[in-house]
Amino acid sequence: MINPNDPGLKSWVAVAAHSDFPIQNLPFGIFRPQHQTPRAGVAIGDHVLDLHYLEGQGYFRNLNLPSGVFDRSRLNDFFALGKKTIRAVREQVSLLLRHDNSTLQAENIRKQVLHAMHDVEMLLPVRVPNYTDFYSSEEHATNVGSMFRDPKNALLPNWKYLPVGYHGRASSIVVSGTPVRRPRGQVKTDSEFPMFMSTHKLDFEVEMAFITCGETKLGHPIHTHEAEDHIAGFALFNDWSARDIQQWEYVPLGPFLGKNFASTLSPWIVTLDALEPFRVDGPEQNPHVLPYLAFEGKKNFDVVIETLLQPEGAEAVVVSRTNAKYLYWNVNQQLAHHTVNGCNIEVGDVYASGTISGPSPGSFGSLLELSWNGQKKLHMTDDTTRTFLLDGDTVTLHAYASRDGVRIGFGACSGKILPSL
């Protein structure tokens, strides 16, 4: 029996002790080797395994993959093959990378199939046909409601009955490492009229996103028990936000220009399979959910997420340490709710969790909450302080699940703030 999650597995590729990418992980991404075209790869230690090369050499022949399916600049065509095929490829890669498998270890093959990570460029892993952002952290929704409405009735009446979500902008989702230009827009301060200016309240939002590997027909809902068949895996997601622009525009139709200037996705899609050992129960749901949102089993994941804020030329500070397990609504419920009216999904869709905040102040997932809308200053290593982001700041999310000496990491989700044009 193949168990690619076995903590005892070792690879012949050297993997450092605290690497995000041991043989138990094997996430998928798109990379461009120097002087070559973009292609699909799998992260292993400090290297990227070239799936296009492997497929061309016949190493996946038993899986009957379409020829050239990894010779693409996005993973969509691969993911369209469905969950079983994605799983089979990960299992095959696991076999090929095991310490006792010599198939790829000969120097001439090894040179072709393994690329040092620092020599390749990581690209956006999927073309994103649709992007939805949920609002599934009770602590985050409570914090926002306390700040802007009434601390005693911080959660709106619908919040515990349905996973609130809204449609975001797909075109401005960028891969980790892409700089983010400080947006300009209308801001209404104490003056009588709104003014056009660069945002003064630029923020990050710590989120996890799941990426779909199936498509459904319009009119056909996905049930909670089958939702995971449509989910390839997770990536980290930073939903940059301009709080002052958002504040003026968002009533009644929701956030728009305060969000759609950029969202950053991490390049590696960590499979649901790799996260299997890290399932935990989510928060108790009270009141009981409607039948279409009911589910069985452990649907949350114990994934620590750390956020680092690095001023230009200074050391980074960890400003937030939270966990995906805090999410009130799970991904099965999110997908079931999203499609219960017949809305269809497509391959490569990105569904983000919404800001993940935990119960303690150090676990809040945005500067809005960490600085309590500017009232509290965060101290940086260069003796400056922050309430919101300054030009030159770099925000980096890291995440990992860890147990039995195995660490399933997500790689970095990072972006640096450039001044307005």
Q: Which amino acids are annotated catalytic?
A: 140
Closest by CA to 20, choosing from 404, 414, 400, is 400
Q: Give the C-alpha distances (Å, rounded to integers) separating 339 from 102, 133, 292, 345, 405.
A: 46, 14, 11, 8, 38
* Nearest distance, CB of residue 307 and a second copy, angstroms: 23
Q: Are 305 and 236 in contact (CB under 8 A)?
A: yes
Nearer to a second copy, 9 or 343 (CB): 343
The residue with tokens 């952290």 is 137
Nearer to a second copy, 43 or 417 (CB): 417
Closest by CA to 398, choosing from 328, 343, 320, 337, is 320
* Nearest distance, CB of residue 34 and a second copy, angstroms: 24
* Nearest distance, CB of residue 70 and a second copy, angstroms: 23
The DSSP call for residue 33 is -
Nearer to a second copy, 120 or 173 (CB): 173
**Residues making contact with a second copy (CB under 8 A):** 129-130, 135, 156-158, 161-162, 164-172, 174, 181, 183-186, 188, 193-194, 196, 218-220, 242, 245, 248-257, 260-262, 287, 290-292, 337-338, 340-346, 349, 421
From start to end of 64-169, where are the E strands?
114-116, 121-123, 131-134, 165-167
* Nearest distance, CB of residue 355 and a second copy, angstroms: 12
* Nearest distance, CB of residue 325 and a second copy, angstroms: 23
* Nearest distance, CB of residue 83 and a second copy, angstroms: 19
Distance CA 352, CA 208 (A): 6
Backbone angles phi, psi at 285, to 5 degrees: -100, 115
Nearer to a second copy, 293 or 408 (CB): 293
Checking DSSP bridges between strand 263-265 and strand 270-271, what pairing results, if any? unpaired
Nearer to a second copy, 196 or 296 (CB): 196
Nearer to a second copy, 2 or 290 (CB): 290
The DSSP call for residue 205 is B
Checking DSSP bridges between strand 231-238 and strand 195-198, what pairing results, if any? unpaired
Beta carbons within 8 Å of 82's beta carbon, 6+ residues apart: 213, 214
Copy the structure tokens of residue 217. 């027909």
Closest by CA to 305, choosing from 394, 376, 403, 402, is 402
Q: Is 297 helix (H, G, I), strand (E, B) or coil?
A: coil
